[in-house]
Amino acid sequence: MGTGKTAGKPGYYAVAKGHTPGVYLTWDDCLPHVNGFPGATYKKFTNVIEAEAWIEAVGEGKAGSRSTAATTARPPISRPAQTSSPITTRSAVAVPSTPPRSPAKPRSPTKPVYSGTESGVVEGSSTSPNSKKRKRSLAGQPVQDETGWQIVYSDGACKGNGKVGSIAGIGVWWGHGDERNLAERCPGAQTNNRAELIAIVRVLETTPHDRRSLLIKTDSQYSINCFQNWLPGWEARKWINSKGEPVKNKELIRYLSALLDQRALEGQKVRLQYVRGHVGEEGNEGADWLANIGVTRPERPERDWETLRASVQNAPAVDLDPIAFAKPEVLVPPEDKNEFEETSQKLFSVDADVPISGAELEAYASALADDDDLLWDLEDD
């Protein structure tokens, strides 16, 4: 099944049967994977979700079997054996302030391929340096069985989002009393979407590199859309959005993408999964609590995202220093709501960097909203 599309026109070229099944961004990239293959089956789509669904429907076998075939070229990773039990959201196991390091290995000169599986987990494999194949994860599709996954929640908060004088913070929640919990001020421009993205960045910067699958849960629909729907098109259009305007947060998104690529190359499954905010899910509430504390932290300068991206792409992953900021004290939200409010008021009132009265706290809290409730959650944010 051929489409005969002209070279250079962006789209999503799905190869269900060919040398390497997958989704490609240009016809030039797609052609070598179907040319000369008996009974090659391929088709062009306008979005990656339809392309992947079509592959599932007409391809031979399941996506997981294709992923296995596609990843056989990945060089073996030398990692120490893991003896600890899987970490869950209730874990209170202490870990070193600096993530453990594994013996350095040379980085493969090839770029990672995001190979789809039934659960939509990001997996890495090697391909030729000239290939631009990008089969993105189905971010947002829930992991059906979370056994064996490291589970972490990330969140961003912003007081006065979209207004002059806004203040943003990030929160990372692993569990009650867990030393990996983070509450930090958002560096640079203070917006809700940036805080949400940087919270995910901080998860990847501070989590040890190993073979345990990593599930990052976020209530940011914007962050999910960046990697589920928009990123392939942005890359194909040289970082111009569908309105013909430069993509906002480009450098930050490119750095986050590089961090995901890094782990894919090392063979680690990383998954972004959407969860509804403020519906009582413990991990999400904990991350939100930490993000609101992050709002009270001292102001931080913008980070050089492009330099950070280059260092991730060009250096052995295990040689990178994943700790960019000092770790704050362990923070445990009280279970009683009244106690929570009293604790929050104390945190705000004693912080000299962002003065705020107890009376202002209630107004501030009521002004907070999730990304998917805001106008700034659109692609042109």
8 A C-beta contact, residue 153 and residue 284: yes
| Chain mean position to CA 235 | 17
Q: What is the DSSP letter of 152?
A: E
* pTM across the whole model: 0.56
- Look at residue 25 in the predicted model and tell me its pLDDT: 80
- Alpha-carbon gap, residue 176 to 37, rounded angstroms: 54
For residues 53 and 43, is the Cβ–Cβ distance under 8 A?
A: no
The encoded tokens of residue 278 equal 């403020």
Q: How far is CA 278 from CA 125, 250, 286, 373, in A?
A: 37, 29, 10, 12
Domain boundaries, the chain: 12-61, 150-377
pLDDT tens digits in sequence order for the chain, 381 residues long = 554 434 445 678 888 888 888 888 888 888 888 888 888 888 888 777 677 777 877 764 333 333 322 333 333 323 333 333 222 222 222 333 333 333 444 333 333 333 332 223 333 333 333 333 333 444 546 788 888 999 999 999 999 998 999 999 999 999 999 999 999 999 999 999 999 999 999 999 999 998 899 999 999 999 999 998 899 999 999 999 988 999 999 999 999 999 999 888 888 999 999 999 989 999 999 999 999 999 999 999 999 999 999 999 886 755 433 434 434 344 555 554 454 445 444 444 434 444 455 544 544 454 444 444 444 444 544
Question: Residue 182 and residue 155: Cα distance in Å, rounded?
Answer: 10
Residues, the chain: 381
Is 150-377 in the same CATH topology as 12-61? no
The predicted pLDDT at position 77 comes to: 28
The partner residues of 156 in beta bridges, in order of sequence, read: 170
Cβ 365 vs Cβ 289: under 8 Å:
no
Q: Which fold has domain 12-61?
A: Ribonuclease HI; Chain A (3.40.970)
The C-alpha atoms of residue 202 and residue 191 are separated, in whole angstroms, by 16
The CATH code belonging to domain 150-377 is: 3.30.420.10
